[in-house]
Structure 1
Amino acid sequence: MTSETTPVAPRLTSLSHGGGCGCKIAPGVLSALLAKSSLPPMVFPDLLVGSETADDAAVYRLDDRQAIVATTDFFMPIVDDPRDFGRIAATNALSDLYAMGARPLMALAIVGMPINVLPHETIAKILEGGESICREAGIPLAGGHSIDSVEPIYGLVGIGVVDPAHLKRNATAQAGDVLVLGKPLGVGILSAALKKNELDAAGYAAMIRATTQLNRPGTELARLGGVHALTDVTGFGLLGHTLELARGAGLTARIDSDALRWLPGVQALAARGVVTGASGRNWASYGDAVDGKVEGDATLRALLTDPQTSGGLLAACAPEAVDEVLALFARDGFGEAAVVGRMEAGAARVLVD
């Protein structure tokens, strides 16, 4: 008489060399790769936003009142729960639409799975998680593409629409603008702790709440005349995405490190050295354009370069619009939105106070 045991499914995070937006190619490497194209540029008058800047999505004008916004985002697992992985990846992908001020219309799934390694039930839960977020956003998951891959990969193509008059870019901040961040920071550090089995249930719950909260305020923020620029904080960390704002506008961005909000336990974990490899790669790519407290404080540097998966919106707005911006965030459930800095005249760099 023989007995058979059901094989134990591997942890999702054990199958990936990096997780979430920490999988991103470092900004310096990415810039070098894109610069190697020998093809001459083509001009498309109705392409309002393309690859010439580091913006969050492409925008193509259909007429004076409508433009299509298109983006894609996918990555390897940041958590082991398959449904949570699908939810996080879908929320993160749709964030780029909200960061342009767009209203999502539909999504397509991007699926790469090790079919002979993961139970099919696990893969089905990943897909279900992504679909649940699309339903929450009020859009159809209308199709997609799948392959058999070595590492599990999931994400979405997001399609949205925006009035060109309300389009918000990451390159249009103005001197004197206040910087408002919609979500607390520290997702990458919590994910590193999870992989090391050092994240408790409360920390995990906080990470899931943050990473599955749709950045819906972006659509309404875009309609406010006092909001001049908008982006979301993801794989390049707060410093990297703030630097994109500074470079796009030709201004200095000043971050008030004491005003930043953190997910529970993040600062203590960072002080113990629980950080991601992507944090170091981020600093190596853009650290020469950052000054201030971060230079002599390794823990603060790790916190501010920490890759954020499905991070918060970062809005540059006129001082007189701050109360309205914070109220809009609060109304949509972003109670930890806070003023974290300002834009001022000066060289295109970031100063950390």
Structure 2
Amino acid sequence: MRKTLLLAMMIAIMTVPFLTGCGSEEEKPAPKAKPAAEAPAEQAPAVQKSEPAGEGAQIGFIYVSPIGDAGWSYAHDMGRQTVEAMPGVTTSFVEAVPEGADAERVILNMARKGYTAIFATSFGYMDPMLKVAKQFPNVQFMHCSGYKTAPNMSAYFGRMYEARYLAGMVAGSMSKTGKLGYAAAFPIPEVIRGINAYTLGAQAVNPKAEVRVVWTKTWYDPAKEKEAAKSLLDVGCDVIAQHQDSPGPQEAAEERGVYSVGYNTDMSNFAPKAHLTAPIWNWSPWYANAVTKMLAGEWKHGSYWPGMAEGIVDLSPFGAMVPQDVQDTVNAKKQAIKDGKYKVFTGPVFDQAGAPKVAAGKVADDESLLGMTWFVQGVIGTTE
């Protein structure tokens, strides 16, 4: 199954990465929240323009994990709350929806109720959403982390690897041993790309840094993800990073008295003595932009991949233990990324075996990034 997905990713040019999950089907409306954030610019050419949504727009969101996960779904729900605060808009959500048949049922139910737009926020929702989209041409369908589109269905994600690189710089600066641990979800391009960016960031400040990877094959399993982090600590890693939705790895680092790097949101509350920073999502500007344009009939369907320049990805505040000189170095690189003066996968970049993957002075293109199935030098682990 995974090989089939990866092959499809390599064929698709303008595509977007992956994500997964567990289930409840109760639609939950929410009270009005804070005002909508400023919207970013569009990132891709149009497929088809939408019709104006008008007043009384109903927007639905579907999450793969509970919004209380403190991670992926929680970050998306913060964006939903921004949409909820917009005039003439009402939102609802269904959390912890398994991928597959359950997802199709939830999407179909929203479409039948006449929702203006439906946002599905996990990779495994892609095919179910595409199936429903073909039946409801007047509904706007939005799929996060996939690559398939239709005249009324867009794909969107964010360049999280940019923030991963910066987090790697922090970890490489703070590690005493140069041994970094990474509790990872599934060996798919999105996760592999993030591990590689993190490793390159660590090596930018410590050329001898290495990153050990343990796969959990989960997105949200706090106990299993915590155990994965412990296994990395047991072999001498003194900074733990994660591509997981739970704060389990952060808690493991805190208990062992070492440092950690979170993901999705600021997880410092779970590990105040360990948490250095975290690559985080800010979906508010993206969702506000999309819904605003739908209301005006200006939304253009296509594939979108905004990044740090658009405010979709960022770093959480540095922990108090991070020295000012480290913060200054990382912030300078962050500004260079935002200004387009630095690209994370700028060559030379070599794979684990030392074979060149990106030539000196060249920059990996989006097709290569989106289909990445290999580790850079310095990563210890397999892509299986």
- Greater strand proportion: 1
The TM-score, its normalising length taken from structure 1, stands at: 0.25
